[in-house]
Amino acid sequence: MPAEFPDFRLGTVLATSFTATLTERRGDPVERIPTPQRLADWLAVSGLAVTSCTTAQLELARELRESIHAAATAAASGEALPEAAVRVINDRSGAGRAAAILTPAGERHWRLNGVEDALGVIAADAIAILAGERDGRLARCASPTCRAAFFDTSQSRTRRWCDMNTCGNRQKKARFHANQRRSGGSG
């Protein structure tokens, strides 16, 4: 992938990984799918490869992403789901015609006819999470610049960071440096 674009932050949960294509929402936002080709790249690495993507499809994807983010954030905060977000998620889910297929190796793959089908798969995953059908809980990242919604499947359901390798390490590093300054740097 071209060096001018930031790396994707891929998690194990499709819908919340999709919302992570816009990160640092409360700091300096980082758009990880700025072009139709980058959306196609993200879909491919997420197991939803499509042959092409248009600017209009990128806008549909971003609208879905923001709707999932709004609904997941509300759910993680114990608030009612925003009606507009629910409508977009349902519309994208209903517009998709993806078919799950089983390979001879026993793996699930998706038969897709385009971006709309891929968005339908993502929306259906969001619905399963928001409806409480999956084992885990929606939570908000503890990073003050991130605050992303993520799906916590840890055994204790007490995970604090959307991604330990970025937000978690950044916060731990900041805490370490603050402690060093307070103690005069001795150690």
Q: What is the pLDDT of residues 117-160, one digit of tens each?
A: 999 999 999 999 999 999 999 988 888 877 788 888 888 777 77
DSSP single-letter state for residue 113: S
165 is a domain residue: no
Q: What is the pLDDT of residues 70-117, one digit of tens each?
A: 999 999 999 999 999 999 999 999 999 999 999 999 999 999 999 999
Q: Is the predicted pLDDT of residue 165 greater than 90, yes or no?
A: no
In sequence order, the β-bridge partners of residue 85 are none
Question: Given this model, what pLDDT does residue 41 score?
Answer: 95
How many C-beta neighbours within 10 Å does residue 147 have?
Answer: 17
pTM value? 0.84
Q: How big is the chain by its Cα radius of gyration, in Å?
A: 18
pLDDT at 185 over 80: no
Separation of alpha carbons 135 and 91, rounded Å: 25
Residue 184 burial (CB count, 10 A): 7
Task: Kindly indicate the confidence band of residue 7, based on its pLDDT and cuts at 50, 70 and 90.
Answer: confident
Res. 1 pLDDT band, cuts 50 70 90: very low
pLDDT digits (tens, 9 = 90+) for 40-82: 999 999 999 999 999 999 999 999 999 999 999 999 999 999 9
CA angle at residue 50 from 47 to 54, to 5 degrees? 135
pLDDT, tens digit, for every residue of 19-35? Answer: 999 988 887 888 999 99
> Measuring CA to CA, which residue among 13, 149, 10, 163 is closest to residue 81?
149
- Tokens, residue 72: 């997941």
Residue 177 lies in a domain: no
Residue 84, helix vs strand vs coil: helix
Residue 183 belongs to a domain = no
**Residue 185 within a domain:** no
125 domain residue, yes or no: yes
pLDDT of residue 162: 75
H/E stretch holding 83 reads helix 83-95
Say if 117 falls within a structural domain.
yes
118 within some domain:
yes
Return the closest-CA partner of residue 27 out of 146, 140, 172, 141. 146
Q: Which domain, by its residues, includes 90?
A: 14-136
Helices and strands in the chain, H and E counts: 6, 6
The more confidently predicted of residues 162 and 113 is 113
H or E stretch including 38? helix 36-45
| Domain presence at residue 112 | yes
Check pLDDT > 60 for residue 2.
no
CA distance 7 to 2: 9
Question: Which amino acid, residue 80?
Answer: A
Domain count, the chain: 1
Place of tokens 């959307």: 162
